[in-house]
Amino acid sequence: MNIIWNKSSEQFHLYNDRISYIIGVAPCGELSNLYFGKRIHDRDDFTYVMFRMGMPNIVVDADTESYSMELNRQEYPSFGTTDFGTQAFEVETSNGSRISSFVYKDHRIYKGKHGITGLPATYAEDDEAMTLEVDLEDEVAKMSITLFYTVFEDYPVIARHASFTNTGSERAKITKALSGCLDLPDPDYEWIQFSGAWARERIPKVRKLSDGITSIESKRGVSSANQNPFVIVKRPNTDEFTGEAIGFSFVYSGNFIAMAEGNSYKRLRILMGINPDRFSWPLDAGQTFETPEVVIAMTDRGLNDLSRTYHRLYNNNLIRGKWKNEPRPILNNNWEATFMNFTEEDILKIAAKAKEAGVELFVLDDGWFGDRNDDYAGLGDWKENPEKLPQGMAGLSRKINAMGLKFGFWIEPEMVNPDSNLYRRHPDWVLSVPGRKSSLGRHQLVLDFSREEVVDHIYGMLHKVISSSSISYIKWDMNRSLTEVYSLEAAAEDQGTIYHRYVLGVYRLYSKLIEAFPDILFESCSSGGNRFDAGMLYFAPQAWCSDNTDAIDRIRIQYGSSYGYPIVSIGAHVSAVPNQQTGRTVSISTRANVAYFGTFGYELDLNKLPEEDFLEVKKQIEFMKKYRRLIQFGDFYRLRSPFETDQCAWMTVSPDRKQAIVGMYCLRSNVNTLPGFLKLAGLDENTLYRMEGREYYGDELMNMGITLDLFYKNGFTVSEDYSSFVAVIEAV
C-alpha cells in the first residue's frame, strides 16, 4: 500500500496490490476524481483524463482553460458553480448563500488510521493502512472541509469520510453532509440494493442504471429493514465469480441515503451518507462536524470476492474487543418458548434441558423487569420483577452458572411504555412535539437519546442490574421507528440535529456499557433486522438477523445478508414448528442446516421436543462445536441463489483450503427431472478431498461438480419440499 503525492501535477495516487484511487486538483482548485479501479502503474501526471471541451457548458472562469465541472468527475461536489449534478454537501452562510467553492489548501499523509469522534469506524494499525487527509477551504464562506481517505494493505478498499470546520466568526449551517461521492466515467452498471420489511429483510433487488436518479433511503431514525445501507454497482456481465463490482457500505445506524445519478455526458455519480431530509447542523465559530464513514470496496473477480472483502475487513478491522474473531457460544433463548409468561422455575427447567443438550449460554428474553407481562407496560423500568425473579437477576444468573451455563438477558433501553414509572416521572424525556399526539409503536414511545441525562439515567439502571449479576451476553432490542422527532430540550434552530444526536446517544450508551463490561457479548436487534448495519457491528459483533425464524424464509434472508456482512455476525437460531411467523413445518435437520451458517442457537423449549428430535439436537450441537470456527470465519461462497431457482447452496472454506462445508437446500420439489450437478468453489484444484465417503480432486468438485442425488429418491422425484443436506469436505 502507498499514497503518492505528485507535487508538480498536484495529484494523489492511493494504491495497494489490487486497486488504484487517483485524485487531482482541478484547474479550478477543487478536487477531481481521475480513476478508481484495478491497480495501475503510477505516473507523474494523469491530467489527460480531464475533459476540456468547447461545448455549450458553463466554465468556472477564463483561467481554467474551459474546464467545466459538469463534464468531469468530482471528488466531493457542491452545487451552484458549474456542476449541475446532485451535490455531496451544502453549507448555508450567515447571509443565506448556499454557493460554495472549496479549493485545495493542504494535505497530510500518515500510516494507520484515526477514529471519528463519537462514531463507529474501521480501524487499522500503522502496518495495515495509510491515510490521506486533504484540506479544502472556502475563503468567502469562512469554512474548511477535510476529506479523509484510508487505503488498506490487505483489502481492495477505500474508507472515506469528511469533516467541516467553521473558520469564521459567524454561525453557519450545514444542510447536507454526505460521507462520500464516487464519479465513474460511464453508466454501464447495474445497481443492487437490499430491500424488504420486517420479517423479510435484505432481499437483493437488481436494476439497470441509466440517465437520472436511482436512490434508496431511510427516514425512520434507524437504518431500517426496508432498505439496507449497503449497495453494489456491477457490470451487467458480473456474476458471483467473475466481473467488476463496487460496494458501498455505510458505517452508520440512522437515516441514510444512497444514490446513483447518470447525467447526459455519461458520467455516473454514486453518493452515500446521512439523509439530508430533516437534517441541519449549525456550526458556531471554531466548531467541527464529522460525517460517518463509507467503506468503498472494489473487485474484478465477482460478487463473492466483494463479499469476502467486507467479511474479512469487518471481522478484522471493525469488530472489536474480546469477541473479535472468536467463535460464538451456542445459546438457548426462551422467547418463543415462553414469551413473557414465565416463572424462575420455568426458566431453570428450560435451561437444564439446554445444558443436557450441550448448549453453552442461556438467554432470558423480554418480561423480566418492572410490571412487564405484556407489550403495554414496564419498558423503562429496568429493575427485576420479584414475582418472576424472587432473587433478582443476580440469583437467577448464579443458578444458571451453577448448571455450567453462561447467562445473558434482553433489554430495550431506547424505549418506554406510557404505563411505566419512568414515563410517569419524566414525560418530557420522550421524542414528542408540543401540542401534538404521539404515535405509538408496539405500545411504546422513544426516549430522547439526544439528551445526555436520559442516556446516563438508563445506563445507571442497567449498570446496577449487570454489575450485581454474572452476565456474559446482552441482547439489545429496538422495536419501532422514530416518529415525532422533536426534542423538548433543544432550541428551534437545533431540531435538525436530533435524528443524528439520537444515534450518537445510542452509540454513547453502547460505549459506556462496553467500557464498564468489556467481556459481555452484545447482540444488536431491532425488530430483528431493522438496524442490521456496519455501524452496529462496531459495538455489537453480531445482530439478530430477523424476527422471522422460519428456516425457508431464513435461507433467503441469510443469503441476502451475506453480500455485505460476515457470517459470524448473522444471528440464526432453530425455532419451534409450526413456525410462529409462517405456520410452516420444517424438519429439525433443515432448521439446523440453515442456522449453522450464522451464530447458531435454539429459540424453543427443548423439553417439548420428541426424544428423536432431542437426540438430533445433541448431534447438531456437537457438529457446530466442532466446525463453528470454519463456518463462522471461513471464506464464504454463494453457489446457487434461492431468488433464481428452487434451490439454494453455499459453502465455507478454511483459509488453508484443507477443509470446507457445503450446505444445499430444496425450497420446492420438482418431479421427473435429473438431479443435476452443483459446482463447488474455493478449493485447491490439486488437492484430493473426501466428501460423504468418496474422494475427489478439487478441480473435479469445482469444474464438474457433485451430483445432487442426495436430494432424490424413487426415480426422479425429489424426496420432499424443504429437504437439505450439509456435507463436510476434508483434504485427504
154 within 8 A of 128, measured Cβ to Cβ: yes
pTM attached to this predicted model: 0.97
For position 714, what pLDDT does the model report? 44
Q: Find the catalytic residue in 365, 547, 550, 553.
A: 547
Strand bridging mode 570-571 / 542-544: parallel
Q: Please name the residues in contact with 172: beta carbons below 8 A apart, sequence gap of 6 or more.
A: 91, 92, 93, 94, 141, 142, 143, 166, 282, 283
CA 713 to mean position of chain CA atoms: 41
Catalytic pick among 477, 533, 553, 635:
477
Q: Which residues of the chain have pLDDT under 50?
A: 714-717
* Burial class for 715, CB neighbours closer than 10 Å (0-12, 13-18, 19+): exposed
CB atoms closer than 10 angstroms to residue 708: 18
pLDDT of the residue at 71: 84
Domains of the chain are 2-317 (2.70.98.60), 331-633 (3.20.20.70), 640-731 (2.60.40.1180)
SS3 call for 568: helix
CA 644 to chain centre: 24
CB atoms within 10 A of CB 644: 8
- Distance CA(496)–CA(277), nearest Å, equals 9
- Per the structure block, which three cell numbers stand in for 698? 478439487
DSSP E strand stretches across 513-595: 521-524, 542-544, 570-571, 574-575
The pLDDT, as a whole number, for residue 62 is: 55
CA dist 575 and 605 (Å) reads: 9
Give the strand pairing for 256-262 and 212-218.
antiparallel
Distance of CA 653 to CAs 149, 569, 658, 696, Å? 32, 17, 8, 16
Contact yes or no for 650/638 (Cβ under 8 A): yes
E strands in 235-279:
245-251, 256-262, 268-274
- Identify whether 699 is a catalytic site residue: no
pLDDT tens sequence across 669-720: 877 676 789 999 999 999 999 998 999 999 999 999 998 876 655 444 455 7
Three cell numbers at 498? Answer: 436530533
pLDDT computed for residue 63 by the predictor: 61
Strands 19-25 and 361-364: unpaired
- At 48 the pLDDT is 92
* DSSP bridge partners of 480: none
Please tell me the distance from the alpha carbon of residue 603 to that of residue 561, in angstroms, as a whole number: 20
| Model pLDDT, residue 70 | 84
pLDDT the model gives residue 82: 83
Phi-psi sector, 463: left (phi>0), alpha (psi -120 to 50), beta = alpha
**Distance between CA 414 and CA 380 in Å, rounded?**
8
- Give dist(CA 193, CA 412) in Å, integer: 29
- The torsion angles phi and psi of 430, rounded to 5 degrees, stand at -105, 155
* CA gap 558, 595 in Å, rounded: 9
For residue 308 the three cell numbers come to 469476502
Cα 247 from Cα 675, distance rounded (Å): 35
Q: Reply yes or no on whether 547 is catalytic.
A: yes
Per-residue HEC secondary structure of 666-715 comes to: ECCCCECCCCCEECCCCCCCCCEEEECCEEEEHHHHHHHCEECHHHEECC
- Using CA atoms, how far apart are residues 90 and 267, in angstroms rounded to an integer? 21
- Which of 498, 491, 512, 375 shows the shortest CA–CA distance to 447? 498
Dig out the grid coordinates for 210 from the structure.
Answer: 441509466
- Give the distance between the most distant pair of CA atoms in the chain: 85
**For helices 551-561 and 588-595, what crossing angle results, to 10°?**
10
Q: Tell how strand 601-603 and strand 331-333 pair up.
A: parallel
Convert the pLDDT of each residue in 516-551 to its tens digit: 999 999 999 999 999 999 999 999 999 999 999 999
pLDDT at 465: 98
> How many CB atoms are located within 10 Å of the residue 611 CB?
7
Instruction: Provide the grid cell at 64.
Output: 481554467
R_g of the chain computed on alpha carbons: 27
The answer to whether the beta carbons of residues 363 and 409 sit under 8 Å apart is yes
